[in-house]
């Protein structure tokens, strides 16, 4: 079984060669998730913050009654997420026109994109989750957590625990260097 690989545009196969300097510059500027997002076409005028440290990808659908309850609650925290360096992005789960209408009808003021625009997103996993659900990854595409329903509201605690884990790993690395 072949694994799908998504590379930043600078490394994509094409008929025209991409200079090493151009490819190097592009990868220095953008981590894997921002690189994917930079190339996408969005369903709304809202574009994601490509300098965020974390990305929350929401799966939601117009036919999903729990989505219509929990996603608006989550969106109330959007400004708090942005101050925590987290960007929220809705991944369309239906036909594009339906997703656009759904976002407009519910005043979803977040970036929305069809999964086909992104291809394989590193770290994204919704295993065992229904709708609505959110997967949080860092800018490098490392999986942090995924939750569904009311558990999506725990994003602050998830980021807090993740940051604690990173600090602990840094302390341990420094301690190992000192040995």
Boundaries of domain holding 40 = 31-172
Tokens 């301690």 locate to 175
Q: Which residue has the higher pLDDT, 31 or 85?
A: 85
Report the CATH number at residue 65: 3.40.30.10
Q: Report pTM.
A: 0.76
pLDDT in tens, 35-86: 889 988 999 888 999 999 999 999 999 999 988 888 888 888 888 888 888 8
pLDDT above 70 coverage of the chain, percent = 83
- pLDDT over 80 (residue 32): yes
- Give how many domains the chain has, as a whole number: 1
Q: How confident is the model at residue 151 (pLDDT cuts 50, 70, 90)?
A: confident
pLDDT at 97: 93
Domain assignment present for 13: no
- For the segment 124-128, the average pLDDT, to the nearest whole number, is 80
Task: Spell out a b/e string for 45-82, using b for 16 or more CB atoms within 10 Å of the CB, else e.
Answer: eeebbbebbbbbbbbbbbebebbbebbeebbebbeebe
pLDDT at 166: 86
Domain assignment present for 178: no
């Amino acid at each position: 079984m072949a694994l799908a690989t998504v590379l930043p545009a600078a490394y994509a196969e094409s008929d025209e060669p991409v200079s090493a300097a151009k490819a190097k510059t592009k990868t220095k500027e953008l981590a894997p998730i921002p690189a994917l997002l930079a190339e996408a076409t969005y369903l709304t005028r809202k574009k994601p913050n490509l300098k965020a440290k974390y990305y929350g990808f929401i799966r939601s659908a117009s036919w999903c009654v729990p989505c219509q309850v929990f996603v608006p609650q989550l969106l109330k925290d959007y400004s708090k997420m942005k101050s925590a360096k987290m960007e929220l992005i809705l991944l369309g789960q239906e036909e594009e026109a339906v997703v656009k209408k759904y976002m407009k009808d519910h005043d979803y003021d977040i970036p929305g994109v069809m999964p086909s625009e992104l291809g394989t997103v590193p770290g994204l996993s919704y295993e065992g989750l229904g709708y609505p659900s959110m997967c949080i990854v860092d800018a490098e595409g490392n999986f942090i957590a995924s939750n569904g329903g009311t558990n999506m509201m725990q994003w602050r605690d998830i980021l807090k625990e993740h940051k604690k884990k990173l600090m602990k790993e840094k302390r341990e690395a420094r301690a190992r260097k000192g040995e």
